[in-house]
């Protein structure tokens, strides 16, 4: 049976039982109206035999308004000819083996010691016994024996430059990208590794292989991810992971915050947490990442982070976390359901298994909530401002891998790097094994998102579901393992706390150039009004905007009212019949808790309005 037969059968059953109506995203403008460029609705096929039926299916389903989810694809193993080429973790060299034959890894000491455990200052040796060094030894400039500092920005540029210029396997290409200067003039570096015919975004697009983007060290005091990406760069460009390039392209950003790394601080040089700046784009570092995502369109965006080893947990429970890794996928309002399902089944589950194989403990990301009363923990943020969550709104898998590290200095560094390498290598393998299915999922969600314009509801604010769970801890004095039953703000099941009818688009005043610039960096299509006209809109009461906390039942103070607005020449229109409509909603809804009104990018709420009927005006594309 053809692989897509069940999917097609389901589609035709739906079409036979539902009455078609003109979908919002296919309503034509007036005769003079500019149409959206077709490139915003293009998809990448996984092969002619599979792509044509699937593409036809998705076009048919677009006519059904809110498109029902098709059957979930079955497991797609590698073909027999490629089995054994996709290697498993661990990478690195065994502690009893000869040094890796490359000058970058240096020479191993004459007598390599057995795996060691070193207690953190303030930690007991009993706790350290739970975190021994792995049975492999990783070598980067910053992991050299006796070093006090991690890899410097100059050493990182030299390392990546040498990989980009070195002889590689047949067909493998690399390019070192300088994405732009940081606030102190340091380049944000990215390495493209591919077997496409070139390293440009168009060449990777033409390869019909999904692209993976891995970003590390958004916080300058979280070095393990950066060192791990240097290892992975070496293994992808001529090492054990190079065979994966038959199925995927990879872009690595080992150090997104070079200034923070140089100073050893969490924030950028201006004191901004760039990990929460991926919607407003106030920092040059976040803008550099946004441009990279916009141009290369990765199917997976993985954020390599570290979490605090003790901190509040030590104060609250007299204990530290027992986990080596905390994992989380995108958890914010309006992330398509299929992306969340793919993230859990195709990434989280295999990654947790790979870590367990290496005797590394993992859990869902959580951190303690400082409050009186019963002990509670929260998982990752549900705001649409992190790279993980904005990636989900860009129709990609957004994922974070956090290793145990903040506050540890250089202690346990080999284990921390091993944790990152194991988890990221698992994500690369998952993408390679599911490359065709992932492209099908993205094709579906991009078209379904476009088809929802002017229809149904959109969630503007959401909150985690209150729940209970067990967390694994180690007693701070004795190192004894124990389990605490705590309250948990569960982001895996979100509760909508504020919804509005989904608009046909948004209008922006002509003076909102700063908003338009940010939207274009994010990849959102923005049209300029070429001839003046009127639009039927829901506007916002200007008497005051208050963004409430994400607490169920707490109402907003913003009031919508229906009116007709004049759209002068030079003002802007952001249509919702585009793949990144959900991202535009997060940015432009005044009640969005991380949006442009809340973050004062839009200073006057009268500069934005929700358009409720597709306008018959003349537009020109600004992208």
Predicted confidence (pLDDT) at residue 68 exceeds the cutoff of 60: no
- The predicted pLDDT at position 368 comes to 79
Contact 622, 516 (CB under 8 A): yes
State both tokens at 572. Answer: 């802007």
State both tokens at 6. Answer: 């069940």
CA dihedral 303, 250, 264, 307 (to 10 degrees): 30
Contact 465, 487 (CB under 8 A): no
> What is the rounded CA–CA span in Å between residue 160 and residue 230?
8
> What is the rounded CA–CA span in Å between residue 595 and residue 599?
6
Average pLDDT rounded to a whole number, residues 173-201:
96
Helix or strand holding residue 341 (H, E): helix 337-342
- The predicted pLDDT at position 170 comes to 82
> What is the rounded CA–CA span in Å between residue 272 and residue 274?
6
Range scoring the smallest mean pLDDT among 30-34, 270-274, 290-294: 30-34
Range scoring the smallest mean pLDDT among 114-118, 231-235, 555-559: 114-118
The rounded percent of the chain whose pLDDT value lies above 70 is: 77
Predicted confidence (pLDDT) at residue 604 exceeds the cutoff of 70: yes
- The predicted pLDDT at position 367 comes to 83
> What is the rounded CA–CA span in Å between residue 346 and residue 300?
11
> What is the rounded CA–CA span in Å between residue 353 and residue 369?
28
- The predicted pLDDT at position 558 comes to 61
Beta strands (DSSP E) in 231-366 are 249-253, 300-308, 319-321, 325-329, 362-364
State both tokens at 159. Answer: 């390392």
- The predicted pLDDT at position 465 comes to 92
Crossing angle of helices 435-451 and 581-588, rounded to 10° = 60
- The predicted pLDDT at position 180 comes to 84
DSSP letters along 356-405, please? HHTT--EEE--EE---SSS-EEE-S--STTSHHHHHHHTTSEEEEEEEEE
> What is the rounded CA–CA span in Å between residue 250 and residue 204?
10
560 to 502, 608, 609, 619: CA distances (angstroms): 13, 12, 10, 26
Average pLDDT rounded to a whole number, residues 233-239:
95
Predicted confidence (pLDDT) at residue 411 exceeds the cutoff of 90: yes
- The predicted pLDDT at position 470 comes to 93
The owner of tokens 């006796």 is 146
pLDDT class of 169 with cuts at 50, 70, 90: confident
Predicted confidence (pLDDT) at residue 227 exceeds the cutoff of 90: yes
Beta bridge partners of 398: 301
DSSP letters along 142-155, please? GGSTT-SS---HHH
State both tokens at 518. Answer: 């940010």
CA dihedral 244, 248, 254, 256 (to 10 degrees): -170
46 or 330, which is more confident: 330
Neighbours of 620 (CB within 10 A): 10
515 to 267, 282, 535, 595: CA distances (angstroms): 24, 11, 20, 11
Contact 530, 616 (CB under 8 A): no
Range scoring the smallest mean pLDDT among 334-348, 359-373, 457-471: 359-373
Contact 155, 138 (CB under 8 A): no
237 or 70, which is more confident: 237
Contact 136, 88 (CB under 8 A): no
Convert the pLDDT of each residue in 123-132 to its tens digit: 678 899 999 9
Backbone angles phi, psi at 284, to 5 degrees: -65, -30
Average pLDDT rounded to a whole number, residues 400-418:
95
Crossing angle of helices 513-522 and 581-588, rounded to 10° = 150
Q: Are strands 249-253 and 362-364 parallel, antiparallel or unpaired?
A: unpaired
Protein fold of 80-373+385-451: Aminopeptidase (3.40.630)
pLDDT class of 267 with cuts at 50, 70, 90: very high
Predicted confidence (pLDDT) at residue 589 exceeds the cutoff of 60: yes
- Within 8 A by CB and 6+ apart from 105, the residues are 93, 99, 139, 140, 234
251 SS3 class: strand
> What is the rounded CA–CA span in Å between residue 623 and residue 613?
23
Contact 377, 471 (CB under 8 A): yes
Q: Are strands 362-364 and 300-308 parallel, antiparallel or unpaired?
A: unpaired
Count of helix runs (H) and strand runs (E) in the chain: 16, 22
282 SS3 class: coil
Convert the pLDDT of each residue in 514-537 to its tens digit: 999 999 999 999 999 999 999 999
- The predicted pLDDT at position 377 comes to 83
Predicted confidence (pLDDT) at residue 8 exceeds the cutoff of 50: no
Predicted confidence (pLDDT) at residue 6 exceeds the cutoff of 50: no
- 268-275's contacts with Cβ under 8 Å and 24+ in sequence apart are 268/182, 268/183, 269/182, 269/183, 269/184, 270/183, 273/219, 274/218, 275/218, 275/219, 275/303, 275/305, 275/386, 275/387
Predicted confidence (pLDDT) at residue 492 exceeds the cutoff of 80: yes
Q: Is the peptide bond before 90 cis (omega within 30 degrees of 0)?
A: yes
Q: Where are the domains of the chain?
A: 80-373+385-451, 500-621
> What is the rounded CA–CA span in Å between residue 542 and residue 538?
13
Convert the pLDDT of each residue in 72-103 to its tens digit: 555 444 433 333 333 444 566 554 332 333 32
Closest CA to 183 of 287, 275, 253, 264: 287
- The predicted pLDDT at position 167 comes to 77
264 or 551, which is more confident: 264
- The predicted pLDDT at position 428 comes to 98
- Quote the distance between the C-alpha of residue 270 and its chain's center: 24
565 SS3 class: strand
pLDDT class of 9 with cuts at 50, 70, 90: very low
- Residue 549: is it exposed, middle or buried by C-beta count within 10 angstroms (0-12/13-18/19+)? exposed
Convert the pLDDT of each residue in 136-149 to its tens digit: 999 999 999 889 99
> What is the rounded CA–CA span in Å between residue 61 and residue 527?
27
Backbone angles phi, psi at 611, to 5 degrees: -90, 125
- The predicted pLDDT at position 73 comes to 55
Contact 536, 516 (CB under 8 A): no
pLDDT class of 317 with cuts at 50, 70, 90: confident
106 or 611, which is more confident: 611
- The predicted pLDDT at position 77 comes to 43
Closest CA to 96 of 116, 111, 83: 111
């Amino acid at each position: 049976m053809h692989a897509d037969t069940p999917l097609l059968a389901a589609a035709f059953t739906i079409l036979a039982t539902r009455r078609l109506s003109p979908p919002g995203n296919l309503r034509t403008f007036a005769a003079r109206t500019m149409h959206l460029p077709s490139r915003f609705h293009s998809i990448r096929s996984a092969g002619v035999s599979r792509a044509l039926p699937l593409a036809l299916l998705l076009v048919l389903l677009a006519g059904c308004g809110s498109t029902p989810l098709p059957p979930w694809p079955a497991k797609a193993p590698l073909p027999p000819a490629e089995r054994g080429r996709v290697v498993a973790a661990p990478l690195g060299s065994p502690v009893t083996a000869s040094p890796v034959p490359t000058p970058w890894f240096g020479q191993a000491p004459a007598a390599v010691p057995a795996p060691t455990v070193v207690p953190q200052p303030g930690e007991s040796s009993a706790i350290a016994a739970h975190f021994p060094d792995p049975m492999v030894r990783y070598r980067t400039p910053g992991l050299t024996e006796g070093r006090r500092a991690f890899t410097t920005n100059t050493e990182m540029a030299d390392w990546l430059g040498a990989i980009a210029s070195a002889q590689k396997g047949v067909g493998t290409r690399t390019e070192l990208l300088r994405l732009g200067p940081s606030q102190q003039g340091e380049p944000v570096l990215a390495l493209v590794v591919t077997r496409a015919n070139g390293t440009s975004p168009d060449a990777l697009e033409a390869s019909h292989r999904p692209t993976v983007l891995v970003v590390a060290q958004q916080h300058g005091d979280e070095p393990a991810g950066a060192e791990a990406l240097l290892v992975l760069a070496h293994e992808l460009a001529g090492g054990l992971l190079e065979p994966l390039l038959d199925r995927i392209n990879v872009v690595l950003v080992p150090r997104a915050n070079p200034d923070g790394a140089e100073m050893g601080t969490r924030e950028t040089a201006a004191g901004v947490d760039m990990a929460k700046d991926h919607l407003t784009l106030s920092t040059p570092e976040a803008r550099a990442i946004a441009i990279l995502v916009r141009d290369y369109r990765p199917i997976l965006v993985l954020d390599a982070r570290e979490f605090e080893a003790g901190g509040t947990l030590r104060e609250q429970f007299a204990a530290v976390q027992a986990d080596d890794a905390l994992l989380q996928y995108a958890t914010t309002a309006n992330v398509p359901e299929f992306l969340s399902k793919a993230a859990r089944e195709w990434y989280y589950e295999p990654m947790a298994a790979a870590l367990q194989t290496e005797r590394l403990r993992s859990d869902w990301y959580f951190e303690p909530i400082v409050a009186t009363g019963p002990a509670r923990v929260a998982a990752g943020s549900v705001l649409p401002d992190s790279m993980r969550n904005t990636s989900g709104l860009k129709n990609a898998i957004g994922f974070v891998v956090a290793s145990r590290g903040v506050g540890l200095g250089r202690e346990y560094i080999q284990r921390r790097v091993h944790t990152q390498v194991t988890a990221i290598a698992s994500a690369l393998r998952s993408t390679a094994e599911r490359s065709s299915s992932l492209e099908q999922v993205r094709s579906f969600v991009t078209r379904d998102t476009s088809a929802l314009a002017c229809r149904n509801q959109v969630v503007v604010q959401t909150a985690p579901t209150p729940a209970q769970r067990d967390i694994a801890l180690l007693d701070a004095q004795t190192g004894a393992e124990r389990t605490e039953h705590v309250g948990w703000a569960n982001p895996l099941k979100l509760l909508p706390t504020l919804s509005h009818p989904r608009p046909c688009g948004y209008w922006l005043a002509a003076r909102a150039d700063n908003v338009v610039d940010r939207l274009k960096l994010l990849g959102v299509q923005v049209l300029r009004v070429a001839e003046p006209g009127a639009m039927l809109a829901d506007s916002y009461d200007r008497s005051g905007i208050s963004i409430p906390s994400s607490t169920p039942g707490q109402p907003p103070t913003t009031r919508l009212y229906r009116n007709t607005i004049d759209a002068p020449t030079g003002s802007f229109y952001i249509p919702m019949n585009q793949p990144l409509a959900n991202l535009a909603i997060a940015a432009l809804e005044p009640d969005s808790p991380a949006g442009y009104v809340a973050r004062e990018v839009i200073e006057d709420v009268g500069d934005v309005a929700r358009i409720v009927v597709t306008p018959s005006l003349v537009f020109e594309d600004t992208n």
